[in-house]
Amino acid sequence: AQKITQTQPGMFVQEKEAVTLDCTYDTSDPSYGLFWYKQPSSGEMIFLIYQGSYDQQNATEGRYSLNFQKARKSANLVISASQLGDSAMYFCAMREINTGFQKLVFGTGTRLLVSP
Amino acid sequence: DVKVTQSSRYLVKRTGEKVFLECVQDMDHENMFWYRQDPGLGLRLIYFSYDVKMKEKGDIPEGYSVSREKKERFSLILESASTNQTSMYLCASRITGRTNKNTEAFFGQGTRLTVV
């Protein structure tokens, strides 16, 4: 069964510094996708970045990059040059292509606080 | 602009009431999902639907049912509300993805339900 683990309940970072949010996953399906979402205090879920299991390169989207280590089953989110507006909950999620039947499973989330 | 709309932002109901949470999407997506979000537990999947009148149980279906009579609408029903169902409920929709390419889920704004 697919499973996502986020072991950091909270993280602190100073403005303009980089931060890494950890995510490990477990699946027996060789074809899967990994997602990161941001949830500000207003509550909406904002899609940030996607990595497919067959993608050769790590995904990047502006200040967000995904450190994908397939053998270790980890998909850490790296936020470069943190901004105050990055303070939010961050969720890692996974979808199995062959066996997950369209399900998207989430981790427990990491609360990031960016200080001036 | 893609949109997933949940009928209420805040809801207060009494124990034992039958509660309906409505979700509508305008993107012609086949798949729709209901999650509940609790602190420290992340997003947990209650039910999902991959087509009209089709439904599948998620990880925590007990005490809930769903209805999908039209493609754009997915309803979550609490047959007899209990205080342990006080939570944030999030609806999402997504196209069917049979490959490893990105198929992000789009979320509604959430319904904060309090059962007293």
pLDDT (tens digit, 9 = 90+) per residue, A35-56?
Answer: 999 999 988 899 999 999 999 8
Share of chain A above pLDDT 70, in %: 98
Which residues touch A116 (CB under 8 Å, ≥6 apart)? A14, A15, A84
CA angle A64, A65, A71 (to 5 degrees): 150
Inform me whether the C-beta atom of residue B80 falls under 8 Å from chain A C-beta atoms: no
Interface A-B: count of C-beta contacts within 8 A:
69
pLDDT of residue A100: 66
Inform me whether the C-beta atom of residue A38 falls under 8 Å from chain B C-beta atoms: no
Backbone angles phi, psi at A85, to 5 degrees: -70, -5
pLDDT of residue A98: 80
pLDDT in tens, B12-23: 999 999 999 999
Nearest Cβ partner for A102 among B31, B88, B102: B31
- Whether residues A106 and B44 touch (CB distance < 8 A) is answered with yes
Give the minimum alpha-carbon distance from B15 to chain A in angstroms, rounded to a whole number.
Answer: 25
Residue of B25, B48, B104, B113 best to disrupt the A interface, most CBs of A under 10 A: B104
Q: How far is CA A2 from the centre of its chain?
A: 15
Q: How many helices (H) and strands (E) does chain A have?
A: 0, 12
| Residue of B36, B37, B77 lying closest to B55 (CA atoms) | B77
Q: Which residue of B has its CA nearest to A36?
A: B104
pLDDT in tens, B89-113: 999 999 887 676 778 899 999 999 9
Give the minimum alpha-carbon distance from B56 to chain A in angstroms, rounded to a whole number.
Answer: 9
pLDDT in tens, A98-112: 876 678 899 999 999
Inform me whether the C-beta atom of residue A105 falls under 8 Å from chain B C-beta atoms: yes
B1 pLDDT band, cuts 50/70/90, is: low
- Please tell me the distance from the alpha carbon of residue A72 to that of residue A50, in angstroms, as a whole number: 18
